[in-house]
Amino acid sequence: MDGDSIARLAYLGLLGAAIVAWFISQNRQPLNKTMQQAMAWVFIFIGVVAVYGLWEDIQNTVGPAPQMAVTDNSIEVPRARDGHYYLPIVVNGEPITFMVDTGASQIVLSAEDAVRVGIDPDQQNYFGRASTANGVVRTAPVRLDSLVLGPITDTNVSAWINEGQMDQSLLGMEYLQRFSNIQFSDGRLTLSR
């Protein structure tokens, strides 16, 4: 700790002691009743700090998930709270949520999602390389029997399994280029064929 931190800590300690002394002197109740009230305020303060610190996580957990709107051959999704766009796609009969990544070239499956769609990542040949934010990772090419996004179905689609750690499968430009129009506007992504 440097000198400024020690001075701040001493100031906060004195301020806290002064508040506690004032609280005790103003309360003419027995000491145990005063301590109960003081502890109640401490827990209220801790609760407020916890809610403030976890507010974004609470919103993501409790709040409604962004909904996809489908009209004819057009799909529209709102931007998520984290600033990304997510598309729910049924891959080989299994629902997978992909993050739209215009910086990715191909469809990239996490190892967990690959297992969900019936591909064993341990049986793949990882001869490809991909540069990611976490460095260079090995990748393995695979074929997906079907991708269903709303009313749009694609078959025999190429993808890659990422050998590195991924929290989310990625929907790259190879798939996005199948759409005639891709538009980002007013916090919404619209895909049209």
* Selection from 48-57, 142-151, 160-169 with the highest mean pLDDT: 142-151
Strands 181-185 and 169-171: unpaired
Residue 65 in this model has a pLDDT that exceeds 60: no
Q: Which residues is 89 bridged to in the sheet?
A: 96
Burial of 100 from C-beta contacts in 10 A (0-12 / 13-18 / 19+): buried
CATH topology of domain 69-192: Cathepsin D, subunit A; domain 1 (2.40.70)
| Predicted confidence band of residue 64 (pLDDT cuts 50, 70, 90) | low
Q: What is the pLDDT of residues 118-139, one digit of tens each?
A: 999 888 888 888 877 778 888 8
Q: Smallest Cα–Cα separation from 176: which of 167, 184, 168?
A: 184
Spatial separation of the C-alpha atoms in residues 177 and 184, rounded to whole Å: 15
Measured at the CA of 93, the angle between CA 88 and CA 94, to 5 degrees, comes to: 50
- List, in order, residues 6 or more apart from 55 with CB less than 8 Å away: none
Distance of CA 72 to the CA centre of its chain: 29
Residue 15 in this model has a pLDDT that exceeds 90: no
Domain boundaries along the sequence of the chain: 3-62, 69-192
| Token pair in block for residue 175 | 């798939």
| Predicted confidence band of residue 61 (pLDDT cuts 50, 70, 90) | low
Q: What is the pLDDT of residue 125?
A: 86
